Amino acid sequence: MIGRLACRIDVLRRAAACMGLGLVVLLVLFGVTLAMPVETWRTGQQFSGPLPVLAPSELPAAPGRIWVDADPACGEGARVDPDDCLAIWYLMGLGDVTIAGVSTVFGNAPLKATDTVTRELMTRLRPTHGLVPVYRGAEAPLPESGAGTDAERGLLAALAEDELTVVALGPLTNVAAALQARPDLHGNVQKIVAVMGRRPGHIFHPAEGAGGGTLFGHGPVFRDFNVVQDPDALRVVLNLDIPLVLIPYEVARDVEVDEEALGHIAASGTAGRWVAERARPWLTYWKTDIGRDGFYPFDLMAAMFVAEPTRFACAGVHVELRRDRTVFFPFSRMPALLIEPLASGHHGSHPGTLYCHGLQGDPQPLGLGGVVARTTGDPDMRRERALGR
């Protein structure tokens, strides 16, 4: 009996040793794979070839009246992006755009935090930019939350007054709930500008072989956050006959906000200083873990589109909400808003969905009143550092 037990223990030890060795081998192979200078690994892109670019006359005009739906959480953690705060700060400085209201939604942080941060920012903006009402919105995805919130009522009241463009910086929960409640007001939505969407096979991989990030310069991989947070709300919006403008990760790669940019933003006044201070931990994270000198300002790009749509290279596209089987696990299991170019025979001055995949024109400041430096090299890897006002 004792001999058989000892034999079994020996077998288990050998099996454990083999498993341990196998795990070490797999880790080494994984590390070697990450270290390989493969372009797809480095950029996260499997697609190839440029997308078409619509002429400036085919793009929607800059709106005169907007509604901002956002999930600001700047300052709520070192790995929480400040882009919503930057976008709201930027939009409030546009003299020719009226902001009918700002609604808050869960996303970058729980609703309690995003609502509090929004109100703090708007309080600091009020002395120079006036009062803009803030409406508390959904604390969870559809169908658990969304209906009957102050955000829904506020957006519907604003739509009942006049036409506007919805600038959606977070999950589409508030927007979907409001539009489901009042189909008769859909005609007053000029368009929805949403921060989401990607091409099949594109993983959001901001290190892109910069060399200074973790995991052999690969750094972290990001999700298409606003899609993943509430795909049911996105499905509602896609089924509506409302023009949609997608501002994806892809275009945010053309701009970097660095320490110099934050310095200019801080010098703009009390609100800018508050936003810049809360953005610095995120910048530090990008420097240390991702290996870049600045961060991509995802939501700020949507605000820039509102101000200067003709600066963007946009294509008319077909969109589909589904899983992307061309990418690796766990991203292959996540809902994805995937785009495909419209067929070459498509004609029309204003396609139903636009995918704005890059910037075009001279490297001038995107309404920030500062300096922009563009890097040289592959146009697909172009960078601009937008320096604040």
In this predicted structure, what is the pLDDT of residue 376? 28
At residue 66, the 3 state secondary structure works out as strand
- State yes or no: pLDDT of 306 exceeds 90: yes
Residues 6+ apart with CB under 8 A from 283: 257, 258, 259, 262, 294, 295
**pLDDT tens digits, residue range 22-31?**
565 554 444 4
Assess if residue 9 is contained within a domain. no
Residue 104: CA count within 13 A, CB half-sphere: 24
What is the residue-averaged pLDDT of the chain?
Answer: 82
How far is Cα 149 from Cα 139, in angstroms, rounded to an integer?
A: 10
Q: Is residue 40 part of a domain?
A: no
Residue 286 DSSP symbol: I
User: What is the rounded average pLDDT of the residues 13-41?
Assistant: 52
Range in 167-181, 255-269, 274-288, 331-345 with the lowest mean pLDDT: 331-345
> Which pLDDT band, with edges at 50, 70 and 90, does 187 fall under?
very high
Strands (E), the chain: 65-70, 98-104, 134-136, 164-168, 189-194, 244-246, 312-323, 335-341, 353-359, 372-374, 384-386
CATH code of the domain covering residue 205: 3.90.245.10
Give the alpha-carbon dihedral of 92, 94, 97, 99, to 10 degrees. 0
Q: Helix or strand or coil: residue 279?
A: helix
pLDDT band of residue 175 (cuts 50, 70, 90) is very high
Other Cβ atoms less than 10 A from the Cβ of 253: the count is: 24
Residue 122 or 341, more confident: 122
159 within a domain of the structure (yes/no): yes
Asked if residue 49 is part of any domain, the answer here is no
16 within some domain? no
Please, are residues 52 and 355 in contact by the beta-carbon 8 Å criterion?
no
- Mean pLDDT, range 373-385, rounded to an integer: 39
Number of domains in the chain: 1
Question: Is residue 37 domain-resident?
Answer: no
Q: What's the pLDDT tens digit per position in 143-160? A: 877 679 999 999 999 999
* CA nearest neighbour of 193 among 384, 360, 359, 353: 353
The mean pLDDT value for 336-359 works out to: 76
Q: What pTM was computed for the model?
A: 0.84
Q: What is the CA radius of gyration of the chain?
A: 23
pLDDT score for 4: 55
- Residue 322 located in a structural domain: yes
Task: Please report which confidence band the pLDDT of residue 34 belongs to, taking 50, 70 and 90 as the band edges.
Answer: very low
Domain containing 334 equals: 56-386
Q: Is the per-residue pLDDT at 347 higher than 60?
A: no
Does residue 225 form part of some domain?
Answer: yes
